[in-house]
Amino acid sequence: MSNTPIIELKNLSKSYPVAGKSFYALKDVSISFKKAEFTGVVGPSGSGKTTLLNIIGSLDSPSSGTALVLNNNISELTHSQAAKLRNHHIGFIFQVFNLLPVYTVYENVEFALLLQNFSAEKRKKMVLEALEWVGLQDHKDKKPDKLSGGESQRVAIARAMVKSPKILLADEPTANLDAENAHSILKTMKTLNKELDTTFIFSTHDEKVMKYLSRTIVLKDGKIDKERANKSRT
């Protein structure tokens, strides 16, 4: 793991107007993430986990402070620059799998590459490789409704990872999975984390996820309450 931080948040605050007052979802958060980290942001509902992931994913910008993601100041990015950053360097995994039902597994994964100027041949190679990472090569022509929950989340991982992003943001990725599938998914992600040096940042409540994390950041009322390094499962 490189020691150079790829994400640096300095005195980051995010507030929303609520009933004429400012409600702080994040308050004065300073934290950094290094390349190939496997980190979880945990905390109760309303603690600011999702807001933090949104800002890192360039889906939102801070009210004050600085968020540098891959040397891009999120506050200064235009919509299209933010979209470009997400397109090239950031992958997302959601709690519900959000696969497009009319497309096959192959096409769902390929979708993530269509905005980049890869040739069809190159895309095919990348998609098949991504499906191989998650063990779904044989399911490439199936539609999402023919997949189990675990398989669907694997497709979502392949879709997020196919462009080999530098950062992968996962919002409660195991919330809809049983224990067996959750462990299997986490193992896959851990392997990808090691092989591709992708930085994984989870937002989670799930104890099963926490066992895999190499670092845990606990948020409470928009502030960092605790931070600890873990001895994670591999």
Partner 1 sequence: MINFLIKGILRDRTKSLIPICVITIGVSITVFMAGFVKGVMSDFVSTTAKLDSGHLKIMTKPYYENKDQIPNDLAILNLSMLTRTLDSSFPNLKWVPRIKFGGILDVPDKNGETILQGPGIGLGIHLFDKSKGELARLSINKSLIRGSIPNSPDEIILSESFSRKLKVNPGDLVTYFGATMEGSMVFESFKMSGTVNFGNPVLDKSTFIIDFNEAQKILDMENGTGELLGFFNNDIYDDVSSLKIEKSFNASYENSSDEFAPIMVSLRNQNDLGSTIDLINTFSSIFIFIFVLAMSMVLWNTGLIGGLRRFQEFGIRLAIGESKRHVYFSLLIESFFIGLIGSSIGTFLGVSFCYYMQENGIDISAALENSAIIFPSVLKAEVTPDLFYIGFIPGLLSMVFGSSLSGRGIFRRNTANLFKELEV
- Answer yes or no whether residue 51 interacts with partner 1 by CB under 8 A: yes
- Answer yes or no whether residue 94 interacts with partner 1 by CB under 8 A: yes
For the chain, give percent helix, strand, coil, nearest 5.
Answer: 35, 30, 35
- Residue placing its CB nearer to partner 1 in the complex, 1 or 100: 100
- Residue placing its CB nearer to partner 1 in the complex, 63 or 230: 63
Amino acid at 126: M
Cα angle 197-203-91, degrees, rounded to a multiple of 5:
45
CA dihedral 32, 62, 90, 119 (to 10 degrees): -140
Cα(215)–Cα(232) distance, rounded to whole angstroms?
8
The DSSP bridge pattern shows strands 5-18 and 64-69 to be antiparallel
Choose, by CB under 8 A, the member of 13, 15, 72, 95 that binds partner 1: 95
Listed in sequence order, the residues at least 6 apart from 54 whose beta carbon sits closer than 8 Å to its beta carbon are 60
- Answer yes or no whether residue 112 interacts with partner 1 by CB under 8 A: yes
Cα(161)–Cα(62) distance, rounded to whole angstroms?
26
Helix (H) / strand (E) element for 134: namely: none
- Residue placing its CB nearer to partner 1 in the complex, 54 or 216: 54
**Only segment of 29-37, 39-47, 69-77, 110-118 that touches partner 1 (CB under 8 A):** 110-118
- Answer yes or no whether residue 84 interacts with partner 1 by CB under 8 A: yes
- Answer yes or no whether residue 1 interacts with partner 1 by CB under 8 A: no
Least distance from partner 1 to the Cβ atom of residue 69, Å: 13
Q: Please, are residues 53 and 43 in contact by the beta-carbon 8 Å criterion?
A: no
- Residue placing its CB nearer to partner 1 in the complex, 151 or 172: 172
Least distance from partner 1 to the Cβ atom of residue 191, Å: 23
Which positions lie near partner 1, rule CB under 8 A?
A: 50-51, 53-54, 57, 59-60, 79-80, 82-88, 90, 92, 94-96, 98, 100-103, 107, 110-112, 114-115, 159, 171-172
